[in-house]
C-alpha cells in the first residue's frame, strides 16, 4: 500500500491513503509539534502530498502544511490526505517577488541569489480559492520554465568545458519534475539531475569525488565527503546536491525577470483578496551552515527596524520563520518586532530532502510553543474563510476585526483545535 502513495497517478495515491486511514497512526505517540512548510513533488521534494501527511503522522505531528514554489497543485491532495488519516492540514505556496518601489529596494533581503527579489509565503489559502491561485501562477511558471531552460544551457557550457556529461533539459530535468502537472522547476531540480548524471558516469565514491574536486574545482566539506564515500547512503543524490548548491548555483543562475518575479504590491494584494495570509519569510544573517549547503552571509538583520514597518505598510499580515535555522537572539528580536507591528508569527521547517526529519522538538520549547497556537489559528482561519469570507482572520469585515490580534489568534486557535479533521468543512465560529 505504501508504494501506491508514491504512484504517478494522483487518484491512486488518494485511494491508497483512504484505504490506510488512521492506521498510519497506530502505535505513534502524538506530540505538540506542527510544521507548516513541507515541499512536495510539485516543487522539489521526494514526497507526494499524501506521503507528506503520512510522514507527518508517523513523526507524531498534530498538523502539517504543504508549501511549494509557485504551485498549489498538491494542495487538494494534501487536504484529502488529512481527511483520510485524521490529521490537521493547511495549504499555501511560496514565491519570489520584486521589491521595486519599496523603502528597501535594491538590497539583499532574504534571497541568497538576488538583490531586490524576496521570498514570501502565502499561507492559509481557503480551499474554494485554489483554482484562482492556479490561474494566477500560470504566467509565473511559464516565465520560470523559460529561465530554467536557459540556466541548463548555461550550465551545459560549463560542464562541456570540464569534459563532464551535459544535461538534456527534457529528459533529465523536466522528466523528474511535475511541471506538466502544474508543478514548478527549481535550481534544485537541475542540481539533482546533475547529481544523477555524474553518478551514472563515475559511480559513487572516490572517482566521483575526485572529479568534483579536481575537474570542477569544488570543495567538499568533510562531513559531506564522508557521506558521499558511503555506498549504502540512501540519501546520496540529495547529499551530492548539497555540495553543488553551496558552490555551483552562482555559476549558472540567471536573474528572473519581472514576469516571473512580479511586484510585491501585486502579490500581496492578490493574497489579501483571496483572504489568504501573505507572509514575509525571515531568513536572518547566517553565521554557519551545519548542512553545508549555505555559506556564511548577511541578509536583513541590519535593517529589520526599517523592514518591518515597510512590510506592514505593503499589506503583509504575518512573518514566517524556521526556529532551527536562527539563533534564539535573532528570533526573539523578530518576535518583538512582530508584536510591535501587529504581525502574526507562523512557523515551519523547510523540508525538501529525504535526509530531513519531520520531527522538530524546538517548537515545543517555551520560546516557541506559541507557534503551535498560531498554527491552530491558521487552520481555523483557512477552513472558516472557505465557508464565509468574512470569517478570514484578517478580513476587515470579520466580526472580531477590532479584537487585538493576540486575542483573535487565541480565539481561532481554540476553534482550530476542535475541528474534526475528517470533516473540516463542518467547522463553525462557535466551535
Kindly state whether residues 291 and 406 are assigned to the same domain: yes
The grid coordinates of residue 318 equal 504575518
Kindly state whether residues 170 and 91 are assigned to the same domain: no
Residues 6+ apart with CB under 8 A from 122: 92, 93, 94, 95, 133, 267, 271, 274, 276, 277, 278, 279
What is the count of structural domains for the chain? Answer: 2
Q: Which residue has the cell 502544474?
A: 182
Kindly state whether residues 130 and 176 are assigned to the same domain: no
Kindly state whether residues 79 and 11 are assigned to the same domain: yes
Neighbours of 300 (CB within 10 A): 21
pLDDT at 367 over 70: yes
pLDDT at 317: 98
Residues 6+ apart with CB under 8 A from 207: none
pLDDT band at 402 (very low <50, low <70, confident <90, very high): very high
From the list 254, 314, 244, the residue with the least C-alpha distance to 278 is 314
* Domain termination site, one of 198, 228, 252: 252
pLDDT at 296: 79
206: in domain: yes
pLDDT at 288: 59
With a pLDDT cut of 70, the percent of the chain lying above it is 98
* Mean pLDDT of the 173-196 span: 97
217: in domain: yes
Kindly state whether residues 248 and 269 are assigned to the same domain: no
143: in domain: no
Kindly state whether residues 117 and 50 are assigned to the same domain: yes
Kindly state whether residues 75 and 206 are assigned to the same domain: no
Task: Tell me the per-residue pLDDT of 278-317, one tens digit each, with 9 for 90 and over.
Answer: 999 999 998 755 444 456 789 999 999 999 999 999 999 9
pLDDT at 359 over 60: yes
* Domain termination site, one of 218, 252, 286: 252
pLDDT at 295: 67
Kindly state whether residues 11 and 122 are assigned to the same domain: yes
* Mean pLDDT of the 254-278 span: 98
pLDDT at 429: 87
In terms of residue numbers, what domain contains 418?
2-138+261-426
pLDDT at 319: 98
pLDDT at 430 over 90: no
31: in domain: yes
pLDDT at 246: 80
**What CATH number is attached to the domain comprising 17?**
3.20.20.140
Positive or negative CA dihedral for 170, 174, 175, 176? positive
57: in domain: yes
Pairing, β 277-281 against β 117-123: antiparallel
Dist. CA 120–CA 268, nearest whole Å: 9
385: in domain: yes
* Mean pLDDT of the 31-49 span: 96
Residue-averaged pLDDT of the chain? 95
Q: Which residue has the cell 556529461?
A: 165
* Mean pLDDT of the 8-28 span: 95
Task: Tell me the per-residue pLDDT of 122-149, one tens digit each, with 9 for 90 and over.
Answer: 999 999 999 999 999 999 999 999 999 9
Kindly state whether residues 152 and 235 are assigned to the same domain: yes
Task: Tell me the per-residue pLDDT of 222-258, one tens digit each, with 9 for 90 and over.
Answer: 999 999 999 999 999 999 999 999 889 999 999 999 9
106: in domain: yes
Residues 6+ apart with CB under 8 A from 242: 224, 291, 292, 293
Kindly state whether residues 65 and 166 are assigned to the same domain: no
Kindly state whether residues 125 and 239 are assigned to the same domain: no
* Mean pLDDT of the 368-394 span: 97
Kindly state whether residues 395 and 317 are assigned to the same domain: yes
CA-based Rg of the chain, rounded to a whole angstrom? 21
pLDDT band at 431 (very low <50, low <70, confident <90, very high): low
DSSP code string of 286-314:
BS--TTSSS--B--GGGGHHHHHHHHHHH
pLDDT band at 115 (very low <50, low <70, confident <90, very high): very high
431: in domain: no
* Domain termination site, one of 252, 284, 310: 252
Amino acid at each position: 500500500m505504501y508504494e501506491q502513495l508514491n504512484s504517478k497517478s494522483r487518484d491512486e495515491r488518494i485511494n491508497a491513503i483512504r484505504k490506510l486511514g488512521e492506521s498510519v497512526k497506530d502505535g505513534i505517540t502524538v506530540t505538540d509539534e506542527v510544521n507548516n512548510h513541507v515541499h512536495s513533488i510539485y516543487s522539489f521534494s521526494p514526497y507526494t502530498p499524501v506521503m507528506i501527511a503520512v510522514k507527518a503522522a508517523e513523526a507524531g505531528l498534530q498538523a502539517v502544511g504543504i508549501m511549494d514554489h509557485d504551485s498549489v497543485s498538491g494542495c487538494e491532495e494534501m487536504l484529502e490526505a488529512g481527511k483520510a488519516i485524521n490529521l490537521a492540514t493547511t495549504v499555501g505556496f511560496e514565491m519570489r517577488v520584486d521589491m521595486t518601489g519599496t523603502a528597501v529596494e535594491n538590497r539583499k533581503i532574504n534571497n541568497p541569489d538576488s538583490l531586490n527579489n524576496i521570498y514570501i509565503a502565502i499561507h492559509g489559502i481557503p480551499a474554494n480559492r485554489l483554482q484562482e491561485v492556479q490561474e494566477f501562477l500560470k504566467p509565473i511558471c511559464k516565465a520560470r520554465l523559460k529561465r530554467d531552460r536557459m540556466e541548463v544551457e548555461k550550465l551545459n557550457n560549463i560542464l562541456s568545458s570540464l569534459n563532464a556529461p551535459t544535461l538534456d533539459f527534457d529528459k533529465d530535468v523536466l522528466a523528474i519534475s511535475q511541471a506538466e502537472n502544474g508543478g514548478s522547476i527549481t535550481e534544485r531540480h537541475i542540481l539533482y539531475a546533475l547529481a544523477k548524471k555524474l553518478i551514472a558516469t563515475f559511480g559513487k565514491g572516490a572517482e566521483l569525488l575526485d572529479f568534483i574536486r579536481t575537474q570542477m574545482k569544488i570543495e567538499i566539506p568533510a562531513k559531506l565527503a564522508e557521506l558521499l564515500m558511503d555506498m549504502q547512503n540512501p540519501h546520496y543524490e540529495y547529499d551530492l546536491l548539497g555540495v553543488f548548491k553551496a558552490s555551483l548555483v552562482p555559476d549558472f543562475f540567471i536573474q528572473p525577470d519581472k514576469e516571473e518575479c512580479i511586484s510585491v504590491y501585486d502579490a500581496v494584494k492578490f493574497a489579501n483578496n483571496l483572504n489568504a495570509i501573505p507572509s514575509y519569510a525571515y531568513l536572518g544573517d547566517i553565521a554557519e551552515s551545519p548542512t553545508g549547503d549555505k555559506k556564511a552571509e548577511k541578509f536583513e538583520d541590519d535593517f529589520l527596524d526599517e523592514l518591518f514597518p515597510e512590510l506592514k505598510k505593503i499589506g503583509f499580515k504575518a512573518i514566517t520563520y524556521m526556529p532551527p535555522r536562527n539563533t534564539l537572539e535573532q528570533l526573539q528580536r523578530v518576535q518583538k518586532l512582530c508584536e510591535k507591528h501587529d504581525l502574526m508569527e507562523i512557523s515551519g521547517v523547510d523540508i525538501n530532502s529525504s535526509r530531513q526529519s519531520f520531527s522538530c522538538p524546538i517548537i515545543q520549547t517555551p520560546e516557541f510553543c506559541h507557534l503551535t497556537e498560531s498554527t491552530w489559528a491558521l487552520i481555523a482561519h483557512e477552513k472558516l474563510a472557505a465557508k464565509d469570507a468574512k470569517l478570514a482572520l484578517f478580513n476587515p469585515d470579520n466580526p472580531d476585526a477590532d479584537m487585538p490580534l493576540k486575542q483573535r489568534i487565541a480565539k481561532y486557535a481554540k476553534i482550530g483545535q476542535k475541528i474534526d479533521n475528517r470533516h473540516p468543512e463542518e467547522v463553525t465560529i462557535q466551535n
